Amino acid sequence: MKPEWKAFLLDAGAEMDNDRVSHFGNPERERSVAVTGDVICDLSHQGLISAHGEEAAAFLQGQFTCDVGEVNAERGRLGAWCTAKGRMVCTFRLFSRADALYLRLPREQVEAVLKRLSMYVLRAKLTLEDAGGAFIPIGLSGPHAETLLKDALGKDIPAEVDAGIRHEGITVIRTPGHHPRFELYGDLESMQRLWQALNVHCAPVGAAQWALMDILAGVPTLYPATAEAFVPQMTNLQLLGGVSFKKGCYPGQEVVARMQYLGKLKRRMYLIHLPVETLPRPGDTLFDATQPSDQPAGIIVDAQHHPDGGVSALAVMQIASAEAGEPRLEGPDGAPARMEVLPYVLDPAAAS
């Protein structure tokens, strides 16, 4: 995080932990308004990897599940990078700015992914770098977010998820959400002005509330604990436009395609509610007494406190357990998981 931006946020009342905004003084209220109202959020807890050079797009096209050729100044994409066995190393949002492509992913994933991805560059004409300090990133969400952003920028705002614009040095990308939601990237002065303009009508919130909005939107985020745990279809990534079945080869492509057209998916991601106070961690397991005891019924992808109490979580679960069992957190006596409704249809046909 740039020192000037950190000082700006601290002056605005931010409470921080390891350069991550925890809250702005009232986490319970922030949790509530994040679900119902208009909010702004510093996204410096996210990391960026840049790829630039004449062969950057071609190289990434041969590595990722999404169609990199569709990514430009007007459109971003969710995507994943897989092993040869089709297991996702990471999930990310890919966007373009100036002469570079950027992967936005959890900051704790950047070092490992950058090191591993760089091993495949060989003689390709591109450079991969940690670009965490390249921009000031903020998020905007809420029922009036589109109007507020249009008024602040003086420009029409993207109406479709994944669509983007660039205006006076600020990159705007629309992302999935219950309310209109946007990621914004720009230089220090531009983002300070934008924050101040939006802050008149929006409540600032901490990083956990942005993660909660991702969870409620059914958007999977992989962390080190869940790297290589899932194939893309297990996290519904194909239903979010994060997998192209028409592009060329990439690591794990045969496994992903076989699962789509020939296989039978036994696990997929669900939105659940857990009546607990302590947050489950990514990688924690769910248990179902009706299923074999040596196999977890589910694995937590991410979890955050919900303003109505308890925890909202995304979990990759055995479909049989989700539909007929009674999954519980960590064991037969653990907290029961209540199935919630995702904002998209879990229909395999929708991914073809």
Token pair for 292: 């074999």
State how far the Cα of 98 lies from the Cα of 132, in Å rounded to an integer: 16
State how far the Cα of 49 lies from the Cα of 17, in Å rounded to an integer: 22
- The confidence band for 259, taking pLDDT boundaries of 50, 70 and 90, is confident
CATH entry 2.40.30.160 includes domain 266-340: yes
Whole-model pTM: value is 0.94
275-326 confidence digits (pLDDT tens): 999 999 999 999 998 776 667 889 999 999 999 999 999 999 999 888 887 7
For CA atoms 91, 301, 343, 44, give the dihedral sign: negative
Instruction: Outline which parts of the chain fall under CATH 2.40.30.160.
Output: 266-340
Does residue 328 carry a pLDDT above 80? Answer: yes
Does residue 263 carry a pLDDT above 90? Answer: no
Q: Please give the pLDDT value at position 349.
A: 45
Q: Please give the pLDDT value at position 289.
A: 80
Does residue 338 carry a pLDDT above 50? Answer: yes
CATH entry 1.10.4080.10 includes domain 1-265: no
> What average pLDDT is seen over the chain?
93
Collect all residues with Cβ–Cβ distance below 8 Å to 222 and sequence separation of at least 6. 80, 88, 89, 90, 91, 106, 109, 229, 230, 282, 301
Q: Please give the pLDDT value at position 347.
A: 63
Q: Please give the pLDDT value at position 261.
A: 83
20-75 confidence digits (pLDDT tens): 999 999 999 999 999 999 999 999 999 999 999 999 999 999 999 999 999 999 99
Q: Please give the pLDDT value at position 343.
A: 94
Report helix angle 3-11 to 188-199, nearest 10. Answer: 20
Q: Please give the pLDDT value at position 260.
A: 84
126-154 confidence digits (pLDDT tens): 999 999 989 999 999 999 999 999 999 99
Collect all residues with Cβ–Cβ distance below 8 Å to 131 and sequence separation of at least 6. 48, 49, 50, 100, 102
- The confidence band for 102, taking pLDDT boundaries of 50, 70 and 90, is very high
Instruction: Outline which parts of the chain fall under CATH 3.30.1360.120.
Output: 1-265
Q: Please give the pLDDT value at position 18.
A: 85
Average pLDDT estimate for 109-117: 96
- The confidence band for 350, taking pLDDT boundaries of 50, 70 and 90, is very low
Q: Please give the pLDDT value at position 98.
A: 87
